[in-house]
Amino acid sequence: MERAFPNRTEAGRLLAEKLVQYAGRDDVIVLGLPRGGVPVAYEVAKRLGAPLDVFIVRKLGVPGFEELAAGAIASGGVRVLNEDVVRAIPHSEEAIEAVTTRETAELERREQIYREGRPAPELRNRVVILVDDGLATGATMRAAIKALRQSSAAKIIVAVPVGPPDTCREIEEQADETICLSTPAFFQAVGQYYDDFSQTSDEDVRELLSQAAQNHQ
């Protein structure tokens, strides 16, 4: 098995070393996918001296088979559907609309609690480094990239500690630059590549964002 990362903090530090050419630039922003991507993104932002924010993406689970993603929604009202999955769902239109409504409410709730009144960042013409703690199917990350394209970001860089080779290749085709530190051939789940993969709470996310905002003043 490929090497494991001790925890998300250490994974973020290792990832940051691959991004040092973006340090000290005022057009760079680091966005973490909550929740698990935020501790990784925090280390990247700290090392690069860049602001940190969240980019929230919610998976649209198939009713009754929630692990199966019919698509995803992202900050800014963007929705991406996995057509193959949608075609296999009975009464797909109503089912997807119901899940979208529910997940949109959750997305808005999280934006409110994580930012604590801070406005969403302006992404137009900026270099966006999009960070998660790992890729599995890549559905969430694809939704995030699509949403960012609509925000007129100048460049989209996806940076993750680990992901299966085929997913990393797919993301490479969609992002302007992709960094996958580890691409194990027999990939099962992101958590198996971390010694400590404990849950990141909403409170953890809020604290890291608040700390990053202070660091970057």
Answer yes or no: pTM beyond 0.85. yes
Q: Could you state, in order of their start, the residue ranges of all structural domains in the chain? A: 8-55+120-215, 59-113
Average pLDDT of 40-51? 97
Q: Shortest CA distance to 130 belongs to which of 93, 162, 155?
A: 155
pLDDT digits (tens, 9 = 90+) for 129-160: 999 999 998 888 988 998 888 888 999 999 99
Which neighbouring-strand residues pair with 61?
69
CATH number for the segment(s) 8-55+120-215:
3.40.50.2020
pLDDT digits (tens, 9 = 90+) for 62-107: 888 777 778 888 887 778 887 888 888 777 788 889 999 999 999 9
Q: Do 177 and 157 form a contact (C-beta atoms < 8 A)?
A: yes
Which neighbouring-strand residues pair with 32?
54, 131
Q: Do 140 and 71 form a contact (C-beta atoms < 8 A)?
A: no
List phi, psi (to 5°) of 20.
-60, -20
Model confidence band, residue 3 (pLDDT cutoffs 50, 70, 90): low
Question: What does the alpha-carbon distance between residue 103 and residue 86 come to, in Å, rounded to a whole number?
Answer: 17
